[in-house]
Every structure is written in C-alpha cells, then in structure tokens.
C-alpha cells in the first residue's frame, strides 16, 4: 500500500530507525529502498546536548509550567 503511493508521489514520508532495523526491513526490499534517502545523524556530544537543552529550556518551562535551574 505504501510503495505505490510513494512511487506516484502521493505520499511523502520521513522515518526514523536504527541502522540495524534499516538493513533488516528497508535495505532488503529494493522497491522500498529506492523510495528512501538515508540520512545518518550522529549522537551529539555532551557539550552539544547541553547547548540543545539550553536552547529548549524556555519552551519546556512554558509548556510544563515549571522553572528549570541551569546548574
């Protein structure tokens, strides 16, 4: 059902999976593999993670109605 819709351009899809699952489910199906473009996203460093969380801090505070200490 998905493959024909993807082939006709009727469905646009963004997926997330592990490399092992990609190899197990997508890579083994040539028709499905042709319709996806893998993008490797590496795990951020501790410093980058802290920066990301600081950038999201205010949004989380507003959404959850809390004050987050930066310590």
pTM: 0.58
The length of the chain in residues reads 71
* pLDDT tens digits, one per residue of 2-46: 889 988 999 999 999 999 999 999 999 998 899 899 999 999 999
Residue 56 has pLDDT above 80, yes or no: yes
C-alpha distance from residue 3 to each of 14, 17, 33, 35 (Å): 14, 18, 10, 8
Tokens coding 50: 């802290």
Distance between CA 59 and CA 71 in Å, rounded?
Answer: 18
What pLDDT was estimated at residue 66? 97
What is the distance between the alpha carbons of residues 51 and 31, in angstroms, rounded to a whole number? 40
Domain spans, the chain: 1-40, 42-71
């Amino acid at each position: 059902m998905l493959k024909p819709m993807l082939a006709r351009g009727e469905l646009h899809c963004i997926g997330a999976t592990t490399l092992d699952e990609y190899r197990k489910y997508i890579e083994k199906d040539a028709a499905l593999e042709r319709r996806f473009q893998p993008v490797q996203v590496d795990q951020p460093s501790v410093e980058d993670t802290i920066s990301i969380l600081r950038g999201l801090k205010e949004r989380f505070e507003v959404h959850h109605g809390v004050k987050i200490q930066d310590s």
